[in-house]
Amino acid sequence: MTQHPRARSTYTGVALVIGSALSLQFGAVFAYQLFPQLGSWGVTTLRLGVAALVLTLMVRPKVGQWSAEQWKAVALFGGSMALMNGTFYAAIERIPIGLAVTIEFLGPLVLAAALSRRGIDFLWLGIALLGMGVLGYESINNATDYDPLGVLFALIAGLGWALYVLAGAKVGQAVEGTGGLAVAMSFAAVFLLPLGAPGALKGVTDPHLLLLAIGTGLLASLIPYTLELMALRRLPRNTFSILLSLEPAVAAIAGFLLLGQVTGPVRWLAIALLIAASVGVTLSARKNPGPKEVQLGEVAPVTASLPMIEDATAQGSKPHRAEKG
């Protein structure tokens, strides 16, 4: 039986989000090795700069043809990326990565609630929120995990993450291909320079540290952000935001397997709830795509006031195709 194009689009979008989550956690393993030498801000600045350079050379964005509105969208995307990345790495320098990602997920969770129009979405949001609550309770009662400054950075990163989803959807609509992402990462690296310049300079002058930074840039920036931009072209923003609940689960598993960060039974229960929310929203999106869902290759427009998802084929919109690579 031939699958409906919207179903294929949903499954492709889910696969892209999962691939992004996996890549991000492997990139974090490289970053942990760099923290003692470069500091979290230096690592973030260097990895974004490396990723921006590689992607710019690959896609060669035609910035000379961009309008002022396109430049504004890309600059805002870069600003949200700088906020999200800088504070997240500052958080995982102080608290376990699984806890940091889970706290950070509050941003897209609140965004998903604001954007959702279907009752079933609130069920999955509720399950995800329950998982968050279980994990928060377990973490607060584990004194070794609870660094107030790390938690604060993770909360700020959550705000950056929500802005990243909105700004990324806007760039996906306004700028064809991945040229907008390349320039946005360049903006992000520049925005972080005041805090990260000393560490980044040290990384550039040490071949071993530079090699680790390149690995971090590819795995934690270039690959995941390219995959997420492609996913945002295939999924409504509320569905995309709920699917991001997979990231705390992947982060906790990666922290346990790759970094030896212990994950107890209560935390595994929270992870299971987050995975259930992601699976649920994927299946409900497939069964009930609705007339307003974003179709393959289309982009949900973004306006200033967190509106409900609108039809990407509405009058005046011009859907773009996602480029491979």
User: Distance (Å, rounded) from C-alpha 61 to C-alpha 134?
Assistant: 44
pLDDT band at 283 (very low <50, low <70, confident <90, very high): low
pLDDT over 80 at 77, yes or no: yes
pLDDT at position 291 is 38
How many angstroms separate the Cα of 195 from the Cα of each of 40, 87, 239?
A: 10, 11, 34
pLDDT band at 300 (very low <50, low <70, confident <90, very high): very low
SS3 154: helix
- Model confidence pLDDT, tens digit, residues 9-63: 778 888 888 888 888 878 877 788 888 999 999 999 998 998 899 889 988 998 8
Contact 16, 228 (CB under 8 A): yes
How many angstroms separate the Cα of 132 from the Cα of each of 27, 99, 107, 207, 269?
A: 24, 10, 12, 40, 10
Domain locations in the chain as residue ranges: 7-287
pLDDT at position 142 is 64
Enter the pTM of the model: 0.71
Q: What's the mean pLDDT in 277-288?
A: 65
Q: pLDDT: is 253 or 87 the higher one? A: 87
Q: pLDDT: is 76 or 240 the higher one? A: 76
How large is the angle between the packed helices 179-205 and 223-232, nearest 10 degrees?
Answer: 160
pLDDT at position 313 is 28
pLDDT at position 298 is 33
pLDDT band at 3 (very low <50, low <70, confident <90, very high): low
User: Distance (Å, rounded) from C-alpha 297 to C-alpha 251?
Assistant: 29
User: Distance (Å, rounded) from C-alpha 185 to C-alpha 190?
Assistant: 9
Q: How many residues does the chain have?
A: 325
What token pair was written down for 249?
């689960």
**Range with the lowest mean pLDDT among 125-134, 135-144, 201-210?**
135-144
Q: What's the mean pLDDT in 67-74?
A: 93
pLDDT over 90 at 76, yes or no: yes
pLDDT band at 316 (very low <50, low <70, confident <90, very high): very low
Amino acid in position 13: G
User: Distance (Å, rounded) from C-alpha 145 to C-alpha 255?
Assistant: 13
Q: What's the mean pLDDT in 107-115?
A: 77
pLDDT at position 7 is 62
Average pLDDT, the chain: 77
Amino acid in position 77: F
